[in-house]
Amino acid sequence: MVSLGQGATASVQAEIASLGTNVLIIIPGTTTVGGVRGGLGTISTLTVDDAEDIEKKIGSVSMVMYGSRSVLQVIGENKNWSTVVLGTTPQFTDIRSWPIVQGNFFTQSDMESAAKVAILGKTVAQNLFEPGDEVVGSQIRIRNVPLRVIGVLAPKGQSITGQDQDDLVLLPFTTAERKVLGTKFLGTVGIILVATQTRHDIPAVVEDIKELLRARHHVQPSEDDDFTIRTMEDIAKTVAGTSRTMMFMLMGIASISLVVGGIGIMNILLVSVTERTKEIGLRMAVGAKRIHILLQFLIEAIIMTTIGGIIGVGAGIGISLLLTKLIGWPTIISMPAVAAAFFFSLVVGIFFGLYPANKASKLNPIEALHYE
């Protein structure tokens, strides 16, 4: 259980690290139009000019990326696949730390000319093309717009929310806006990613961005922001809290298992005391003291739980490795957890073996010898 919990936590932390601890995410916030209050992202309040202003006017900002997305049907030669289509900028690969494994990413000149080019995620490439097919240079269609595939992204796997990150198609933002996705107002974007020079610059940059965007959007002092800024540290803290809760839950389940196992051991030893009453009486009759009988049954309990602990640890490691191999579930074998599990098996043996051992040591030798 600890291996599963730590593996999941490590996987999430790796994903957060891959996006960058010095990256800010800006998304449209709640808006009020005609007295009607809309939810988060109901109306896009962010624009390309906002992103460009952030890059130009705020110090400590090293890079800015913006984008707009939609879920659409992508058609290959004889296959089709519904996926996320994201119009973005050439800074995508740098700010997301997401390299290209085949071909090349689109350039600034592709952006300026609204070139009909596309970058595919691994999942999309696998579902549109057969193994061995030449993906780079082939043609796909989105909303009857022909697009030439110029690159394939490196696989990323699942996101924090369990979504397949490789299930997407990237287009130059201008191509997406003018020819594929369309928009009510030219220049509106659904997300802005801002990279700071260091993670220590984040608090100051967040405040500067808030001040800049409130001024650009003419938000009054009494009004709430019409945008939301999130940082990787905020997400990491949320994930850490969730992981702690999950670990406590797993520990609770493990504790119940220990109690149930301990009660089973105690019952077995109580039955053993009953079945061996004559033997106990005989040992006492020939000079065995109470401490000798007590130690005999305690040692038996410890031996039983030691064997159980070895089997349990082996089974735990084996199941963890099997889950990783069969279903790709991330697991981390923690040696402190292995040692703690084995130690607790001994503690369970001593604790639950004490009562039967104590009962056996208190038997009257004469009554024990006459016991049927």
pLDDT in tens, 183-220: 777 889 999 999 888 878 888 899 999 999 999 988 88
DSSP state for residue 164 in the 8-state scheme: B
Task: Show the CA angle centred on residue 19, arms to residues 14 and 21, nearest 5°.
Answer: 85
Residue 229 lies in a domain: no
How confident is the model at residue 213, as a pLDDT?
92
How confident is the model at residue 146, as a pLDDT?
94
Residue 17 lies in a domain: no
Lowest-confidence region among 38-47, 295-304, 362-371: 38-47
Residues 91 and 181 in one domain: yes
Count of domains for the chain: 2
Lowest-confidence region among 16-25, 105-114, 167-176, 311-320: 16-25
Residue 12 lies in a domain: no
81 three-state secondary structure: strand
Q: What pTM did the predictor assign? A: 0.62
Amino acid of residue 294: L
Residue 211 lies in a domain: no
Sign of torsion, CA 191 195 196 199? positive
pLDDT band at 236, cuts 50/70/90? low
Residues 277 and 364 in one domain: yes
Boundary residue ending a domain (186, 218, 234): 186
Whether the pLDDT of residue 278 is over 60: the answer is yes
Share of the chain above pLDDT 90, in %: 30
Whether the pLDDT of residue 223 is over 70: the answer is yes
Whether the pLDDT of residue 257 is over 90: the answer is no
Whether the pLDDT of residue 20 is over 70: the answer is no
How confident is the model at residue 358, as a pLDDT?
79
Residues 180 and 272 in one domain: no
CB 147 within 8 A of CB 116: yes
How confident is the model at residue 38, as a pLDDT?
45
Give the Cα separation of 180 and 169 in Å (integer).
12
Residue 40 lies in a domain: no
Q: Look-up: residue for tokens 């800074």?
A: 91
- Burial status of residue 85 (CB atoms within 10 A of its CB: 0-12, 13-18, 19 or more): buried
How confident is the model at residue 212, as a pLDDT?
92
How confident is the model at residue 105, as a pLDDT?
95
Residue 232 lies in a domain: no
Which residue range forms the structural domain that includes residue 113? 66-186
Cα–Cα nearest to 194, from 156, 153, 231, 159: 231
Lowest-confidence region among 21-30, 67-76, 166-175, 240-249: 240-249
Whether the pLDDT of residue 10 is over 80: the answer is no
Residues 72 and 156 in one domain: yes
Cα–Cα nearest to 123, from 100, 101, 156, 92: 156
Task: Show the CA angle centred on residue 66, arms to residues 175 and 22, nearest 5°.
Answer: 150
How confident is the model at residue 36, as a pLDDT?
41
Q: Look-up: residue for tokens 């109901």?
A: 42
Residue 61 lies in a domain: no
Residue 221 lies in a domain: no
Lowest-confidence region among 17-31, 260-274, 350-364: 17-31
Give the Cα separation of 48 and 134 in Å (integer).
35
Structure tokens given for 323: 């889950």
Boundary residue ending a domain (159, 186, 213): 186
Structure tokens given for 45: 């309040």
Share of the chain above pLDDT 70, in %: 86
pLDDT greater at residue 30 or residue 298: 298
Boundary residue ending a domain (137, 169, 186): 186
Structure tokens given for 199: 């993670």
Residues 162 and 79 in one domain: yes
- Strand-strand pairing, 117-120 and 145-153: parallel
Residues 176 and 271 in one domain: no
How confident is the model at residue 37, as a pLDDT?
45
